[in-house]
Each structure stands twice: as C-alpha cells, then as structure tokens.
C-alpha cells in the first residue's frame, strides 16, 4: 500500500543572501531588490520575531548594546509586475545587524 498526499509540493530554495528592502513609513516592506531586480510586495506581509540561539553561536556583546537575541522575520508575497506569478520571500534580520537576508524563496 502506498501513502500519497493531496497537498502540492512547493519548490523552496534556501538562500541567506543579502538584499535591500524598502519600507513604507509605517514600517512594512514595500519592495525588495534581489537578483538585480525590484520585487514589489503584492499582499499583506506577515511579521514575527524568533530568538537567536546565542548559546550555540557563543556571540557576546558589550554591556548596554541592546537586544542581541531577537531575530526579525517578514514573509512577503512579491512579483516583478502585475502579470508575473507570485513568489514568497522570507526575510530575516539577525540581532546586531542592519542587513536583511533573503532566507528562502518559495514558488507559489
């Protein structure tokens, strides 16, 4: 007997590449520069925080430097133009960094 699933398999690529993110005045992503192109946000983004496993990285910070454990994440659906298919980008910004990373791309 073979077990199958009816759910489609998504094509996900793990990357961790530096990207430039443009934000609205309210602080939500508006567009991402990736692979030399501008990807416009086409749906309501999802925002959350996770905790860095500082005990694994052995990262230290000077006293008073601020938050060294909260990793910021955004999941956004983007497209190159109004006729292009949607793609899902997951963005991550590590503690003590101003650089956003494109963590994964999922082809919807």
Q: What is the pLDDT of residue 8?
A: 40
Q: What is the pLDDT of residue 61?
A: 63
Q: What is the pLDDT of residue 45?
A: 97
Element (H, E) at 78: strand 70-79
Examine the pLDDT at 6 and tell me if it is beyond 50: no
What average pLDDT does this structure show over 42-46? 97
- What percent of the chain is predicted at pLDDT more than 70? 72
3-state secondary structure 48-75: EEEECCHHHHCCCCCCCCCCCCEEEEEE
- Distance in angstroms (rounded) separating the CA atoms of residues 53 and 42: 32
Examine the pLDDT at 7 and tell me if it is beyond 60: no
Let me know how long the chain is: 108
Residue whose C-alpha is closest to residue 100's, from 22, 12, 14, 48: 22
- Distance in angstroms (rounded) separating the CA atoms of residues 31 and 8: 28
Examine the pLDDT at 59 and tell me if it is beyond 90: no
What average pLDDT does this structure show over 36-58? 86
Antiparallel, parallel or unpaired: β 100-107 and 87-93: antiparallel
More confident residue, 73 or 62: 73
């Amino acid at each position: 007997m073979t077990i199958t699933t009816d759910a489609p398999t998504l094509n996900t690529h793990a990357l961790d590449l530096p990207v430039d993110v443009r934000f609205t005045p309210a602080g939500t992503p508006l567009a991402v520069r990736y692979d030399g192109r501008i990807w416009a946000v086409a749906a309501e983004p999802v925002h959350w925080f996770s905790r860095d496993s500082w005990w694994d990285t052995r990262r230290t910070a000077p006293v008073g430097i601020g938050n060294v454990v909260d990793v910021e994440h955004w999941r956004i659906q983007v497209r190159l133009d109004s006729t292009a298919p949607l793609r899902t980008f997951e963005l991550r910004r590590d503690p003590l960094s101003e650089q956003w990373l494109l963590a994964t791309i999922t082809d919807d």
